[in-house]
Amino acid sequence: MPKSRFFLLFLLFSTVALNSAVGQKVKYKDIYALLNTKQYEQAEPFLKAYLKENTDNSNAYLFMGTIYQEKITNDDILIQTDRAIQHMDSAILFYDKTLKLLTDKELRKNKEYYESYNKRDLSTGEFGVKLDYVQFDLEKRISGLKEQIDKIKMVKYYFTLTENLYKKSQDLFLTVQEAYPGYREMYLRADENTIKKLSALSQRFDSCVKAFANYKTSLSNYGKNKYNQRWDLRNIENFKSDGREMTDFYKNEMLIWNYKSFADESLAIIEKDVMPVQENLVKFDMEINKLKARLEADSVSVKSDLAKLTQGMLGDQLKKFDPSPMPIDVFALKIADLEYKSVLIENKKAHASDDLGVRLQAVKDEIRQLNHADSAAQKLSARNLDDDIINYQQFVNNTFTKGDILKSYVHSVKEHISKEKDKKTAELAFRTESMNWLINGADSIPLFTDHVKANNKFRPLVVTADKFTSGIMFTDSVSGSGYLYSITPSHKPDIKVSFPIDKANMREKRLSDVSAYSISDPNAQIFFSLIYVKRKDKAGKYPTTVAKIYRSDGLSWSNNFALDFIPSEINFIPDTGELIVKGDNGITARIDKNGKLITTN
């Protein structure tokens, strides 16, 4: 503490103590020593005590007003607003009392107390204190304090309004946030109440922004203070975690969630994207149902119509806010089911055809379409339909009446497709097996060379797909004859020829040593079947049977030969009618058109 200040306090305390001891009042001049050096905090209790006893000292009231005005500088205008206003009111009160008591006589009598108002008189050039100087200053102080009260009230009003509007905005946002698991659900489940809340949130936050702007203006008008708040405005990115943190409005740096941006963007998506798409979903379903009714009423395929309709699918629009839209899966199942039924209608002629290959391909096409429908059914049934029904309530209500009917539809279609798959899979197995056989009356001729059962009298040696087959037919373990059957689309041969073979060497028990070649002319009118034994006979030859067959006349001839080589290839020469038999060792045999071996080399 400075020595001068200490001395003043010591002097004052000593004076007060002495006066109290002798029963005397505190003298104003003793207090003035502190007031004049602006030791207001120390002087205040003495001044208050003095004024309780002395109500006619205008200068004491002046300094009491000054003390209260000085207190205002330490008041927090936001936290201690009421106290600051009280201090201002008190200062005004004491200044007003000063004005009422102040006279020229008072100034002349106590001019040393008003030295701060000592000024040069421009008319006389002399220094002095005039009543109008002091009155003007006090009136100016009172006017300034009254204006300051209005300003601080305005600052507090807009500050409180900003804070309250932000809290209300946050509370409204939280009701929206807590109502939905995420953005997708909010967009899809939005109703009139949601739209009202989002609209109110946008307006409320907008009012908050305006209130804050007015607060900043009023704060600037108020004058010097410690506050300079700035907004760190952040967008709502994570629907479930952002926007929950409350800000401290007394801090200069404030985290502010941009609820208006969230509300405006959400409203735009709901009103411009979601709602129109939801209406179009119902319309799209109606178009599918029209095609279904047409298929059922007229028994006609609607595949081409479905292809055109699917070009207008709404998947891309929906996927803006729902990566896996339930209605699209419903449409996929309905369309796949109609495509399968259309394929059944288209395949009626194929199933009535004698061409077994056509029938087989028809079943394959149907199974392929069934697999597509089954995938659609599996995907839809694997969804959380309970949530989907809530998300797409409008669609469900308009297309299935209620959620339970949608669930029942998915289950029934899935069961139907499963049964159809079982039926068509069995049919596919039957059709596939049928392709392995020729049917000739009561006989079934295998069109495969491996794993032919021993009890089957037909033992194919050559199968040329979709053309002919040749082999040996055994009526018993000893007797056998060669055969050549044409392979027709119906698998009912139109060429059915049997011919004698070398029975002595081509027995059933030696069948593992027997092989064959078959060939036809380019027009499929002349056929040759060559059956040979890969093991030499007693004469060191290879027993061989060659048969010539005409489509129109049947068997022309069948001769047995003993070749010096194992045949590896046969070729027909249409110009000469000869059959060329080649061996791996380069030896060639020529058989003329009448079945005579004419040369060997």
Say yes or no to pLDDT of 600 above 70: no
Tell me the average pLDDT of the chain. Answer: 92
Say what angle helices 40-53 and 3-21 make with each other, to 10 degrees: 20
Question: Terminal CA-to-CA distance of the chain, rounded, Å?
Answer: 142
With CA atoms as reference, report the closest residue to 160 among 56, 249, 223, 53: 249
Q: How far is CA 341 from CA 14, 203, 357, 463, in A?
A: 116, 55, 21, 37
Decide: 580 and 599 in contact? Cβ < 8 Å.
no
Contacts of 48 (CB under 8 A, 6+ apart): 64
Backbone angles phi, psi at 453, to 5 degrees: -65, 145
Instruction: Label residue 22 by pLDDT band (50, 70, 90).
Output: very low
pLDDT of residue 17: 42
Say yes or no to pLDDT of 142 above 70: yes
Distance (Å, rounded) from C-alpha 569 to C-alpha 143? 128
pLDDT of residue 24: 58
pLDDT of residue 191: 92
pLDDT in tens, 336-358: 999 999 999 999 999 999 999 99
Contacts of 105 (CB under 8 A, 6+ apart): none
Decide: 464 and 529 in contact? Cβ < 8 Å.
no
pTM metric for this prediction: 0.73
pLDDT of residue 237: 94
